[in-house]
Amino acid sequence: MALRRHILFLACGSLLAARVLAVDTPPRLFFSDAKLSFLVPDPWEVPSSFPFGPLLTRKTQEGTDAFVVCQISDPVDSSRLSADISTDTLKEFATHDLSSRNTGARVLATTARTLAGQNAYEVTWLNEGPEGVTQTQSIYFFMDNRFYHLSLRANRDSFPWIVQDFQNWLLSVRLLNRQDSGKLDDPAHGGVWVHQTGGVKITIPDDWLIGVADDRQVGATIVRDKMHLAFSAVVDVSSPAAQGMAAVEKEEAQKTLEKDYKIIAQSEEPFHGLPALELDYEGTVDGRFVRGEDLWVSSPKARWLISVDGDSRLLRQLSDEWQGILSDIHFYE
C-alpha cells in the first residue's frame, strides 16, 4: 500500500497559540469528497441524509424548510488541472445550467463575486413548481477542473429573511486541497470529517484542533503544557479490501513502523466489526518518550490507516478522549 504513517505533520506551536486564543465557534464540517469545509451555525443542521442529500437544512419562521445544497459537474478536461477560470466563463456556465435545469426559472439578479479566494458568479432566481414558488441563490465557482455551485433554496416568503444568513455562512467556506499536505490556514476547533467515497465519518471533539484535512486525510492535535497528542486518518480508496490485509502487507506495515519505533503489542481484533491490524509502539522522538497505536482497517469501500500517538503521559491521561474518537468513528457502505 502507498499509505505511510505520520504523513500529517501538525505545527503544534501554532496550534497551541490558536488554542490559547480560542473562541466559541460553531462546529466545522469537512466534506472531503467535495473538497469543502464550512461552519454549521445554529439553527442550521446537517441532515441525516448527508452526504447523499443537502449540506444543511433549517426551519424558517413560516414553518417551511430551507436547504443549502452543493452540486458539482463532471471534470471539464481530464488532461489538465485548472485552479480557477474567468467570471465570464462562470457566467456562461451558470446561464446554461439554469436554462437546462429549470425551464421555469426567472432570474432576478446576477453579480460577479469571489468565494474563498476564487472567482465566483452569483445568481438569484425564482421558480414556480407544484410545491409553490421557491427562490434560490446560487454561487458558481470552479476548482480542480469542475464547476461547483452552492445554493440556498427556500420558499419565496421566507427567502428574504434568511438570505443574509446564507451570505454570512459563505464567508466560512474553505476549499480543501493537497497543497502543503492539506494543512489548513485556520485550524478548526473540532468538527466532523466525512469521506463519502471511503465510507466514513469521524468526529473530533472541540478541544482538539484540526490542522490538516483534504480529500484523503485528516489530522488533529491536543496540547497540554509542553505535551501533545496527534490523531490522523488516511484513506486509500484504491484498496477496498473488507477481507483484511494480506500477510505481506502486515509484514510491510510492521517493518515501516519498526524503522522509528519499537512495537510492544499487536492484535488482529476487529475494529467496528471490520478486519483490522493494531500495532502498539513506543520510542523517543526529539527527547520525548512517545507511545501510540496504528490501526489498519479494511472497510467495504477503502483501506484506512488510523493513528494516535504522543507523549506517553498525556496519552495515558487523555485515554478516554482519544478512545472516544475511535469509538465514535462510523463506517458505512
pLDDT at residue 241, rounded to an integer: 57
User: In a 3-state reduction of DSSP, which class is residue 75?
Assistant: coil
Domain ranges of the chain: 12-28+178-331, 42-171
pLDDT at residue 16, rounded to an integer: 43
Q: Are 295 and 276 in contact (CB under 8 A)?
A: yes
pLDDT at residue 69, rounded to an integer: 96
Helices and strands (H, E) in the chain, number of each type? 6, 18
The three cell numbers locating residue 95: 446561464
Q: What is the pTM of this model?
A: 0.86
pLDDT at residue 180, rounded to an integer: 67
Which CATH number does the domain 12-28+178-331 belong to among 3.40.190.100, 3.40.50.450, 3.10.20.740, 3.40.1000.10?
3.40.1000.10
On the question of a common fold for 12-28+178-331 and 42-171, the answer reads yes
pLDDT at residue 286, rounded to an integer: 84
Contacts 24+ apart (CB under 8 A), 14-20: 14/187, 14/211, 15/187, 15/209, 15/211, 15/221, 15/223, 16/223, 16/228, 18/187, 18/189, 18/209, 19/209, 19/223
CATH class of 42-171: alpha beta
pLDDT at residue 150, rounded to an integer: 97
pLDDT at residue 56, rounded to an integer: 96
Counting every residue, how long is the chain?
333
* H or E, element range at 146: strand 146-155
What does the alpha-carbon distance between residue 266 and residue 269 come to, in Å, rounded to a whole number? 9
What does the alpha-carbon distance between residue 153 and residue 105 come to, in Å, rounded to a whole number? 13
What does the alpha-carbon distance between residue 28 and residue 50 come to, in Å, rounded to a whole number? 14
pLDDT at residue 242, rounded to an integer: 59
Cα diameter, the chain: 68
Mean pLDDT per block of 10 residues along the chain (333 residues) reads 42 42 69 93 90 92 92 79 81 90 82 94 89 91 92 94 95 85 85 93 94 92 92 85 78 89 95 94 91 93 94 96 96 85
